[in-house]
Structure 1
Amino acid sequence: MTQQAVRWTADQVLALAPDVASRTAGSKLGAAGPWSEAGSSDEGAVWGLCRGSGSKPYQTVVDIADSAGPAYKCSCPSRKFPCKHALGLLLLWSGADGAVPSGQAPGWAEEWMAGRRKRAEDRRTAGGGSGASASGDPEAARRRAERRAERISVGAAELEQRLADLLRGGLASAERSGYGMWEETAARMVDAQAPGLASRVRELGAIPSSGPGWPVRLLEECALLHLLDQGWLRREDLPDGLAATVRSRVGLSGSADGPPVRDRWLVLAQYDTADAKLTTRRIWLHGAESGRTALLLSYGAAGRTPELALPVGLAFEAEVSSYPGAGQVRAALGERFSPPAPAAIRPKGLTTSEAAARYGEALRTDPWLESCPVTLGGVVPTPDGGSWQLADAEGEFALPLTPAARSRPDLWRLVALSGGAPVTVFGECGHRGFTPLTAWPEDGGEAVPLC
């Protein structure tokens, strides 16, 4: 089957949008009105000219066939990837109504496509000799790692003293001290090159005066931070898997050195979170043969979306390697052997009680785990007073939705998809509840992104 015959759905296109504003703007450009000279090729290129506010139309081209993933080029000034014009063009193409006919790419589109693929080939060619240069001086790397470990140990010991002072003075003192105390402590952890500790300290600072029961929540988080500190200071006594998890939690991510697993990977979900310095994109994958769930992380500087984007509901063949750590689901995407394409793949669903048990088991190997990936089968979204939950269709158990999930407009999309009937839902299950990310109707059908 040629790439021209493989059409994505509108949901799969919109799942690539970097934010809600881009999704809305791209949807408005998904009709033929603003477009001219649109076309597509069997090689997986889609192009077109989009009328904008200037005298010249924007030149937009998308490469959907490259095994490295969808790539976009547009002459508009947007810094988002994909921009609204690329989204609109893909929506026009996904309609399969003749608005984007097959044809020969114009020179400007062909030039970009050829340049992109040549650079990819150059990288593959150069990759064969990169191992030796990447390793550098092993002895110098070892000394740098030792110096950083010493700095982290000093920071962890200082943090232990500050936690002890807080408990001796009483938790009420945290409310009086304000956020400045926590920010200063977090800065000390940054100086100690322990960004994981700094992040958890900042989270502590947001708890005082955050609502009823905040002292209990603060004590719980202090206990987890104390456990992480002690894990680092006594890491030599820990099992290898748990020691790797502790190193990751304090901010030493390591490298994806697990054996590559080649599989056909279904894109389960994709969503972004952002702070003042960084945008983090999370992409969940499910292996059709291995049954594994893998998490890909990619990053973009403030104001820029990460470049890696995969359409939810499509599958592609690739190799994936795990990062170190007990129960670690984070992985790195290796060589890809096919572009994303529709596939009749769906993870096996669990009951809500099985999902809760899975999270409990995951906590044994990673006590700091906020949530774990789970697919629920045969659940119905039901109201629970002023909240919502996912209840087993033929059981007495239910999982409450997290506060963040209850406030999202996509909750109503899930409710509408269900219509009171059971659905299959993939999401993240943790101590705050369940966050739905993607859903499928029980009688078959396309994946519906919920984030």
Structure 2
Amino acid sequence: MTEQGVRWTAEQVLALAPDVASRKAGAKLGGAGPWSQTGGSASGAVWGWCKGSGSTPYRTVVDLTGPAYTCSCPSRKFPCKHALGLLLLWAAEGFGEPAEAPEWASAWLTERAARAGRARQGPAPGAADPEAARRRGERRAARIGAGVSELEQRLADLLRGGLAGQEHAGYSLWEETAARMVDAQAPGLAARVRELGTIPTSGPGWPGRMLEECALLHLLDRAWLGVGELPGPLAATVRTRIGVTATAEGDAVRDRWLVLAQYDTVSPDGRLTTRRIWLRGAVSGRAALVLDFGPPGRPPALALPVGLALDAEARFRPGSAGLRADLGERFAAPSPWPRAPAGISTGAALDAYGTALREDPWLDSWPVVLGPVVPIPGERGWQLADAEGTSALPVTTAQGRSRSGLWQLAALSGGGPVTVFGECGHRGFTPLTAWAEGSSEPVALN
């Protein structure tokens, strides 16, 4: 079957929508009525004209290997409603035999391929000045060191005065401290400081959580001050946690990457949306975390619907327990994966998280597929128990997500075993995606 013929489900298409309004508008354009000149290529592109309110139809092209989109409409959303409508029409009906793209579509596809080729080649030899880069690195390290020392003093003052007053102290002082970390070119520290400032209003038990975060911040500060004496992998992790961006110079792994989950979180100040996409290699079994970011008012551009698999190269960054990766060349359009991923027991999940903590003590969680497990209610909340009932994990809720996902999971299970992907951490297991027994259709948990 050609790549253009391996169609997605409607839900996988709508998962690309940047917001609810786009989802609804795109669904209205998912029928054949407004469309003409539709077609698709064997290389994984679809195109069409969509009739709008004006005399000239909008010309829409989607490169399925991205996915990436272009449209002649004035919308600033990606994908726009026309791209969603075109994909929905393709998912429902297909566009017949593969064809050559018309000139108006092929021009964009050709330029996109050329840009991808230039990106893979990287900068021209000699374009970077190693000595200048070294000096910049030294200056930044000095600024970070000064910021770390200032943060250590702030933590010492906090603990000397006690945590009791923090509930009424307000967030402004922490925001000021975070701004100082930004000035010190340590954005990772700034993010952790902002999270620390939100803890006093996070509900019962906040003093314990705040003390825990202070300890982790202190550990990170001390690790930075002695980073030159740390083993290479741990030093890379410390730099990543501080916010010194690492290039994707680690392992390059080509695999069929199954999209296990995708969700967004918003920074405490509302300025940045972070999209987390979890992948697992079908051959390597390796987990990969791909991050994308959206500025205020715009969602992240990268979207990969859960349940699709893409033949692509992932290049892993140093540090972060070997999870953080950037997607490189993609060799085919994503296509639905025919089965649920294989799962492990709850005990094995805890062992995997514990092993990962040795590489990254600041790791909040570890990606795990559990199965078969059964969701069960208890006095202290929901748990996921192994099907044989030997052990269980408490269920938690991810940042910015409602508890409705727990009821989705319970309804999907109906008291029977399910396969669940999520993040296993020191507070329990956060379910993100589930598969009913014997089903290949993933259910994204809200």
> Given the two structures, how large is their TM-score scaled by the length of structure 2?
0.90
For residues 389 and 407 of structure 1, do their structure 2 counterparts lie closer, same or farther at Cα, with a shift above 3 Å needed? farther
Q: Does 2:283 align with 1:289?
A: yes
Counterparts of residues 124-135 of structure 1 (less than 5 Å)? 124=117, 128=121, 130-134=123-127
Tell me the equivalent position of 1:8.
8
Q: What is the SS of the residue equivalent to 2:27?
A: helix
Cα deviation per residue 1:223-253 (whole Å; 9 max; x = unaligned)?
Answer: 1111111111111222211111111111112
**Residues in 2 aligned to 1:211 and 1:122: alpha-carbon distance in whole angstroms:** 49
Give the direction of change, closer, same or farther, for the CA distance of 1:103–1:216 in structure 2 (3 Å limit).
Answer: closer
For the pair 1:90 / 2:87, whether they are aligned, the reply is yes
Report 1:166-315 matches (<5 A): 166-275=158-267, 276-315=270-309
Q: Is the aligned partner of 1:403 residue 2:397?
A: yes
Q: Specify whether residues 420 and 248 from structure 1 end up closer, same or farther in structure 2 by C-alpha distance, changes over 3 A only.
A: same
**Distance (Å, rounded) in 2 between the aligned partners of 1:56 and 1:380:** 56
How many positions carry a matched residue from both structures? Answer: 442
| CA distance 1:229–1:62, change in 2 (3 Å) | same
Deviation at 1:146, TM superposition (A): 0.6
Q: Does 1:435 align with 2:440?
A: no
* Offset at residue 131 of structure 1 (A): 4.1
2:376 matched to 1:379? no
Say if 1:51 and 1:57, in contact at 8 Å, map to a contact too. Answer: yes
Moved more, 312-321 or 35-44: 35-44
The alpha carbon displacement at 1:386 in A equals 7.8
Change (3 A) 1:153 1:409: same
Change (3 A) 1:126 1:255: closer
Is residue 63 from structure 1 mapped to residue 62 from structure 2 by the alignment? yes
Aligned partners of 2:340 and 2:440 also within 8 Å: no
Separation in structure 2 between the aligned mates of residue 211 and residue 15 of structure 1, nearest angstrom: 32
Q: For the Cα contact (< 8 Å) 1:266–1:286, is it kept in 2?
A: yes
Deviations 1:80-118 (A, max 9, x none): 21123322321222123x7x55586885xx413332323
Once structures 1 and 2 are overlaid, which stretch shifts more, 257-266 or 225-234? 257-266
Q: Is the 8 A contact 1:11 1:449 kept in 2?
A: no
- Once residues 27 and 122 of structure 2 are traced to their aligned partners in structure 1, the CA distance between those partners, rounded to angstroms, is 44
Query: What secondary structure is seen at the aligned counterpart in 2 of 1:327?
Result: helix
**Which residue, 109, 125, 142 being the options, matches 1:116?**
109
Residues of 2 paired with 1:400 and 1:28: CA distance?
Answer: 41
Three-state SS of the structure 1 residue aligned to 2:377 is: strand
Distance 2:14 2:409 in 1: 16
Separation of aligned partners in 2, 1:328 and 1:309: 22
CA–CA separation in structure 2 for the residues paired with 1:121 and 1:193: 34
Partner of 1:41: 40
Alpha-carbon distance in 2 for matches of 1:139, 1:400? 52
Q: What CA distance in whole angstroms lies between the structure 1 residues aligned with 2:271 and 2:441?
A: 35
Q: 1:187 is matched by which residue type in structure 2?
A: A
1:95–1:280: structure 2 CA closer, same or farther, 3 Å change rule? Answer: same
Partner secondary structure for residue 444 of structure 1: coil
Amino acid at match of 1:112: A
Partner of 1:162: 154
* SS of equivalent to 2:312: strand
SS in 2 for 1:403: coil
Query: Once the 2 structures are TM-superposed, how far is the Cα of residue 149 of structure 1 from its aligned partner?
Result: 0.5
Structure 2, unaligned stretches of length 5 or more?
A: none
**Are the equivalent residues in 1 in contact too, given 2:13–2:88 (CA < 8 A)?**
yes
1:433/1:58 CA distance change after superposition, 3 Å: farther
Amino acid at match of 2:349: A
Instruction: Please report how far the alpha carbon of residue 348 of structure 1 lies from its aligned counterpart in structure 2 after TM superposition.
Output: 2.5
After TM superposition, give the deviation of residue 71 of structure 1 in Å. Answer: 1.7
Distance of 2:101 and 2:360 partners within structure 1? 53
Residue 331 (structure 1) aligned with residue 325 (structure 2): yes
Residues 403/115 of structure 1: CA separation in 2 closer, same or farther (3 Å cut): closer
Residue 139 of structure 2 corresponds to residue 147 of structure 1: yes
410-419 or 161-170, larger mean C-alpha shift: 410-419
Q: Secondary structure of 1:317's match?
A: strand
- Compare 426-435 and 235-244 and name the one that shifted more: 426-435
The alpha-carbon deviation at position 297 of structure 1 amounts to 1.4
Moved more, 343-352 or 188-197: 343-352
Cα–Cα, structure 1 residues 194 and 415, in superposed 2: closer, same or farther, change >3 Å? same
When residues 294 and 423 of structure 1 are mapped into structure 2, their CA distance, relative to the original with a 3 A threshold, is same
2:301 counterpart SS class: coil
Q: Distance in 2 between matches of 1:48 and 1:446?
A: 29
Q: Is the contact between residue 45 and residue 61 of structure 1 (CA under 8 Å) also seen in structure 2?
A: no
1:415 equivalent in alignment to 2:410: yes
| Distance of aligned partners of 1:327 and 1:128 in 2 relative to their CA distance in 1, 3 Å threshold | closer
Give the Cα separation in 2 of the matches to 1:38 and 1:384.
57
In the alignment, is the contact (CA less than 8 A) between 1:49 and 1:57 conserved in 2? no
Q: Which moved more, 1:320-329 or 1:432-441?
A: 432-441
- Between 1:24-33 and 1:328-337, the stretch displaced more is 24-33
Instruction: Give identity over the alignment, percent.
Output: 63
Of 369-378 and 271-280, the range deviating more from structure 2: 271-280
Question: Counterpart of 2:310?
Answer: 316
Which amino acid in the other structure matches residue 335 of structure 1? E
Q: Per-residue displacement from partner, 1:379-416 (whole Å, max 9, x unpaired)?
A: 22333358433222221432232234872544444333
Aligned pair in 2 of structure 1 residues 444, 253: CA closer, same or farther (>3 Å)? same
Which amino acid in the other structure matches residue 89 of structure 2?
A: L
Does structure 2 conserve the Cα–Cα contact (< 8 Å) formed by 1:58 and 1:74? Answer: no
Aligned: 1:358 with 2:348 = no
Is 2:340–2:441's contact at 8 Å kept on the other side of the alignment?
Answer: no
1:398 to 1:38, Cα distance in 2 relative to 1, 3 A: farther
Worse overlay, 301-310 or 250-259: 301-310
**Equivalent residue of 2:382, what SS?**
strand
Segment drifting more, 386-395 vs 287-296? 386-395
For the residues of structure 2 that align with 1:292 and 1:342, how far apart are their CA atoms?
19
CA distance in 2, matches of 1:257, 1:142: 18
Change (3 A) 1:6 1:209: closer
Inter-partner Cα distance in structure 2 for 1:32 and 1:384: 50
